Amino acid sequence: MTARAPDARPDLLGQTRDHLEATLLPIVGKRFRVLQVYDALYQRAAAEFAEMTELAKPLRTELAERFRIGVPEIEERRVSSDGTRKYLLKLEDGASVEAVDIPDRDRHTLCISSQAGCALACRFCVTGFWGAGRSLTAGEIIGQVQAIRRDDPPLGESLNLVFMGMGEPLLNLEGIEPAIAILSESISLRRITVSTAGVIPGIERLAAWERRPNLAVSLHAPDDARRSELMPVNKSYPLADLMKVLRKYPLEPRRRITFEYILLDGFNDAPGDADALAKLLRGMSAKINLIPANPDAVLGDRMVPPPAATVAAFQQRLLDHGYTTTVRKRRGDDVSAACGQLRAFARQPRGFRRSNLSF
């Protein structure tokens, strides 16, 4: 396959209403024309200007000459026996990311990526194992949602959106901020969740946003020794500092911070660990989502989930401490779409490197 020359046309996807107006008004002349393009891009998920039949043909042709619509190409789609669909999406520079569409009764949850790769090198995560990539643009973030909406039309408008795919969203605020602003026009902010490994400066910046999505924090261990072992990021942002910032995090009434906690057999699943976790969160508006570890071949035999009875006992202990505690259902693992299994390592562009694990 010969490499395609990169497309030099600016991407319209990812431009906010004001930005789009500044870009297009000189060309289309009237504000309502700009709004027609805006709706076509974001409400109808148009991927080609030819689909904007409300515009005169010469205008469509001119727009296509000058701009592109960065809905990524679906390179591969794998459908799990439980209905979960994992997508490998190809970006303009040849990098690829994965996104997952998880159906649950009449609602779908889209798990999307914020970076192509991840520099944080968490020991349990396949994306981190394969190393740093680059941050996605707002257009590339929205493009994942649009590509899936086009491919799986029945998912309609009943969407939850979770930034739990590849990458650390709070190391890409520049991309996620406009993306969330635009996506929240059709998906309520209450249905959008940003998950972080605990990047404190990012949390502080998120706290200052006027309109905020839900926040989830990947905790995984109740003390620094074990958390640093699992997540090198904990050495830069240790638990005490992290919890201090989270305790100040502004929450709307009745909203809670979600704490994700991977259960690893014999490592962090003892009753005393549940007690320590409860103590760490004491007084906070928090809920806990337990994730029995998902194994993956590249991680070797480190990722062993505890027996079901241990998971249930751990959950019960947290419930007894008064915390809403759920156990995340494993979805899509027959197509490597489960948490921590996202990787696009086979198709990264040149210059892609494995992280060196020092942080």
122 is catalytic: no
- Chain position carrying tokens 């156990």: 327
| Residue whose CB is less far from ligand SAH, 141 or 291 | 291
Q: Is 196 in the site for ligand SAH (CB under 6 A)?
A: yes
Name residue 111's beta-bridge partners.
Answer: 100, 162
Interface map 210-229 toward ligand SAH (x if CB under 6 A): --------x-----------
Contacts 24+ apart (CB under 8 A), 215-218: 215/249, 215/257, 215/258, 216/162, 216/164, 216/257, 216/258, 216/259, 216/260, 216/289, 217/242, 217/246, 217/257, 217/258, 217/259, 217/260, 218/122, 218/260, 218/262
Number of residues in contact with ligand SAH under rule CB under 6 A? 16
Interface map 39-78 toward ligand SAH (x if CB under 6 A): ----------------------------------------
Dihedral of alpha carbons 185, 187, 190, 193, sign: negative
Dihedral of alpha carbons 305, 353, 199, 223, sign: positive
Q: Is 125 in the site for ligand SAH (CB under 6 A)?
A: yes
Q: Is 197 in the site for ligand SAH (CB under 6 A)?
A: yes
Looking at 62, 76, 98, 122, which residue is catalytic?
98
Q: Is 339 in the site for ligand SAH (CB under 6 A)?
A: yes
**Cα 169 from Cα 113, distance rounded (Å):** 8
Interface map 294-313 toward ligand SAH (x if CB under 6 A): x--------x----------
**Cα 337 from Cα 329, distance rounded (Å):** 12
- Chain position carrying tokens 């072992």: 229
CB of 81 to ligand SAH, least distance (A): 19
Region from 57-65, 133-141, 276-284, 287-295 binding ligand SAH, contact rule CB under 6 A: 287-295
Amino acid at 145: V
CB of 120 to ligand SAH, least distance (A): 6
Interface map 233-272 toward ligand SAH (x if CB under 6 A): ---------------------------x-x----------
Enclosing H/E stretch for 79: strand 73-79
CB of 75 to ligand SAH, least distance (A): 21
Alpha helices, DSSP H only, in the chain?
17-28, 31-42, 57-66, 126-130, 138-151, 173-183, 200-207, 224-230, 233-236, 239-248, 271-281, 308-320
Nearest-CB residue to ligand SAH? 340
Region from 36-44, 177-185, 192-200, 277-285 binding ligand SAH, contact rule CB under 6 A: 192-200
339 is catalytic: yes
Name residue 314's beta-bridge partners.
Answer: none
Q: Is 164 in the site for ligand SAH (CB under 6 A)?
A: yes
Enclosing H/E stretch for 194: strand 192-196
| Spatial CB neighbours of 39, under 8 Å, sequence gap ≥ 6 | none
CB of 185 to ligand SAH, least distance (A): 24
CB of 326 to ligand SAH, least distance (A): 13
Kindly give the pairing relationship between strand 257-263 and strand 214-218: parallel
CB of 330 to ligand SAH, least distance (A): 8
CB of 212 to ligand SAH, least distance (A): 16
Tell me which residues are annotated as active site. Answer: 98, 339
The footprint of ligand SAH (CB under 6 A) covers 124-125, 164, 168, 195-197, 218, 260, 262, 291, 293-294, 303, 339-340
